[in-house]
Structure 1
Amino acid sequence: MTEEKKQLTENQDSFIMHPTVDFCFKELMENAKVRQGLIAAILKKDPEEIQKTKLMPTILRKEYPEDKYGILDVRVLLKNGEQMDLEMQVVPFEFWFQRSFYYLSKMVTDQMKTGDTYDRIKPCIHVGILDFNFFENDTRCYHAGMFCDKETGEVLTDLLQIHILELKKLPPESQNETGIIQWMRFMSGKNRKDFAKMAEQNEYIKEAYECLEKMSADERKRREYEERQKILWDHNSFMKSAKIIGMREGREEGRKEGRKEGRKEGRKEGYREALVSIVIKKLQKGMSAEEIADFLEEDVLTIQRIYDIANTYAPEYDIEKIVQKLGNTSGMKQK
């Protein structure tokens, strides 16, 4: 065996999926024992108390037939009728809170059918596992919230609950870690050595590690994983590119006009141009304006306007003319 082939074999043998890629996370949640362990940690219960969990169809968020970008979340029904929606979010999103509460509220209303009484409503729990910093001025990695009295802190109702796990804020590893910190540490793992060490901590994380190994050895699942990973990389690259273009054009515009407004307008123009470019690429692949908006996590009305104007310039799609026609379109915010 040549040295090159040997290295390739070693790389293939050492490959293991990362739970922060939402495809991998969703596959892990297919395992009842893994779900049991993670949900118990979130609810601060003994795993034996989580006697039964059932996966529900995820119908709240659309998956695209072509590139399948979207929110790959996991919706679980607990034995007592409570519902939990678990989401792995790796891309920073300005309106994540608003979107999360929209879907959380939808989980409540979906329980009601015509003629039902309100007593059938059971608590709904949203769990956001974020691979980025959401609360910029708070160093805590875990937050839990529900409706409380502002003055006394007394819980008013547990019908709507939200748990936010910020993986980037995990503190340095310490001995005897338990509960949700163990699971957050596992989800942040990047190599077999880390996962194997964590698998020694409890039987549920061990089960999750064994699932990771099986998935990573499955060629079909590995291709799906790598496709999903590429989509996320492309999205992150687009957002970074848009920001760089905006900053560059902002500096140039600022130099020309010599004032703050010029720099700000240049940044907006750069972001607008990058946004138009990606909308054109996606519409050429047959995606609808709604699908593109979800992909970019942008306002659907903004994308619809770009989409409609771009179509009038088909098939050449002159970006400069499209941007010029858009003008200072309301709602096109630079991120």
Structure 2
Amino acid sequence: MKKPDENFIMLPTVDFCFKELMMNPKVRTGFIAALLDLSPDEIQDTEIVPTELPRDYPEEKLGILDVHVRMRDGRHLNLEMQVQFFEYWDSRILFYLSKMFSGQLKKGDSYEKLRKCIHVSILDFSWFDDDLYYHTIHLYDDGTKERYSDLLELQFLELKKLPPEAQSEKGILRWMRFLHGKSRKEFEHMAGTDEYIQEAYDTLVQMSADEKKQMEYEAREKALRDYQSQMKSAENAGFRKGERTGFQKGEQTGFQKGEQSGLEKAKRIFQLNAQGKTITEIADICQMTEPEVRDILD
């Protein structure tokens, strides 16, 4: 058994670590208070709700380590850390937000039982084409610009866009700096700015010293790296196949269509392969020959 590394510290941008931090009620209270721009004293009991959203979509083969929180007043929050760029993130979060919203009602329930649902995307990549690190999004009337309903809300925290540190920063900015930390020194610095972030740091240190949790963390970190590498390979393979197809046709339009088609098909092949499908099954699903499938996987 390897000797534990005393300098090892988990990074909150790994979703396993983030979810474990949110299991601590005080940490959860402090973070949610910052998201809702409230004092932590105003946050009553919160509870973790077992996630019941479907996980059987090709893009979700790694699983989703999200955190579903229900507040005493009935509001629901879904907190999700995403470290890798996800092409259909906008559609994906709308899908899961709608599932969370509609999932509140059972057969025969009245619509008056519906409570506000908020999806919080904590992204370690840039999503919007602006310099804002924090976005909140609601439903608005196009003509009057008045808010139509407050029952659905999206929040985006883009960690890559953090501005230079300043004094007297808002709570949400302090939390974002902590979540984006990369060393003990950075975590310790942010812990001194807020008692709830201090609790998060203390929890982080305890988790990092736990051998079992460290193994789980490293396994998840490896899975994320492998998936990223696999998607990059699929992208490169799709580009090469599209390039060949385009030039064989001898037309620029053929090149563009071939490149896009090849990229999408290659990604699909890698996803099916990761799901344990055989070469024969993949070839049948993708309407390709077995040698063509092997050529992409190799």
TM-score (norm: length of structure 2): 0.87
Per-residue CA deviation, residues 190-221 of structure 1 (Å, 9 max, x unaligned), is 11000000000000000000111011111111
Q: Provide structure 2 residue ranges, at least 5 long, that are not aligned to the other structure.
A: none
Equivalent position to 1:52, from 35, 45, 51: 45
The answer to whether the 8 A contact 1:23-1:72 is kept is yes
* Superposition CA RMSD, Å: 3.0
The answer to whether the 8 A contact 1:245-1:267 is kept is no
Equivalent position to 1:78, from 67, 71, 77: 71
Residue 94 of structure 1: CA displacement? 2.0
Equivalent position to 1:237, from 229, 235, 245: 229
Call closer, same or farther: CA 1:250–1:102 in 2, change over 3 Å: closer
Equivalent position to 2:10, from 14, 17, 23: 17
Match of 1:28 in 2: 21
Residue 61 of structure 1: CA displacement? 3.8
Structure 1: distance between partners of 2:42 and 2:141: 29
Equivalent position to 1:156, from 143, 148, 152: 148
Equivalent position to 1:112, from 105, 115, 132: 105
The answer to whether the 8 A contact 1:36-1:50 is kept is yes
1:210 aligns with 2:232: no
Residue 153 of structure 1: CA displacement? 2.8
Structure 1: distance between partners of 2:209 and 2:28: 21
Match of 2:185 in 1: 193
Match of 1:39 in 2: 32
Structure 1: distance between partners of 2:234 and 2:286: 22
Structure 1: distance between partners of 2:281 and 2:145: 46
Amino acid at match of 1:189: G
Match of 2:139 in 1: 147
Amino acid at match of 1:231: A
Structure 1: distance between partners of 2:69 and 2:236: 40
Structure 1: distance between partners of 2:27 and 2:145: 33
Corresponding residue SS for 1:14: coil
Match of 1:329 in 2: none
Residue 250 of structure 1: CA displacement? 4.2
Structure 1: distance between partners of 2:101 and 2:268: 35
Structure 2: distance between partners of 1:173 and 1:74: 28
Match of 1:320 in 2: 292
Structure 2: distance between partners of 1:312 and 1:252: 18
Q: Provide structure 1 residue ranges, at least 5 long, that are not aligned to the other structure.
A: 1-7, 286-304, 325-335
Corresponding residue SS for 1:16: coil
Call closer, same or farther: CA 1:260–1:54 in 2, change over 3 Å: same
Residue 141 of structure 1: CA displacement? 1.0
Corresponding residue SS for 2:163: coil
Call closer, same or farther: CA 1:26–1:242 in 2, change over 3 Å: same
The answer to whether the 8 A contact 1:63-1:71 is kept is no
The answer to whether the 8 A contact 2:239-2:262 is kept is no
The answer to whether the 8 A contact 2:140-2:148 is kept is yes
TM-score (norm: length of structure 1): 0.78
Match of 1:309 in 2: 284
Identify the range of structure 1 (89-98 vs 137-146) with the bigger mean alpha-carbon deviation: 89-98
Residue 119 of structure 1: CA displacement? 1.2
Amino acid at match of 1:98: S
Per-residue CA deviation, residues 130-181 of structure 1 (Å, 9 max, x unaligned), is 111111x211111101112223332221111111111111112222222111
Equivalent position to 2:217, from 225, 229, 238: 225
Amino acid at match of 1:204: Y
The answer to whether the 8 A contact 2:265-2:286 is kept is no
Amino acid at match of 2:55: K
Structure 2: distance between partners of 1:21 and 1:38: 17
Call closer, same or farther: CA 1:128–1:266 in 2, change over 3 Å: closer
Structure 2: distance between partners of 1:78 and 1:321: 49
The answer to which structure, 1 or 2, has the higher relative contact order (CA under 8 A, 6+ apart) is 2
Residue 321 of structure 1: CA displacement? 5.7
Structure 1: distance between partners of 2:84 and 2:197: 25
Structure 2: distance between partners of 1:274 and 1:99: 18
Instruction: Give the number of equivalent residue pairs.
Output: 291
Residue 97 of structure 1: CA displacement? 1.5
The answer to whether the 8 A contact 2:29-2:40 is kept is yes
The answer to whether the 8 A contact 1:19-1:25 is kept is yes
The answer to whether the 8 A contact 2:283-2:293 is kept is no
Corresponding residue SS for 1:12: coil
The answer to whether the 8 A contact 1:53-1:77 is kept is yes
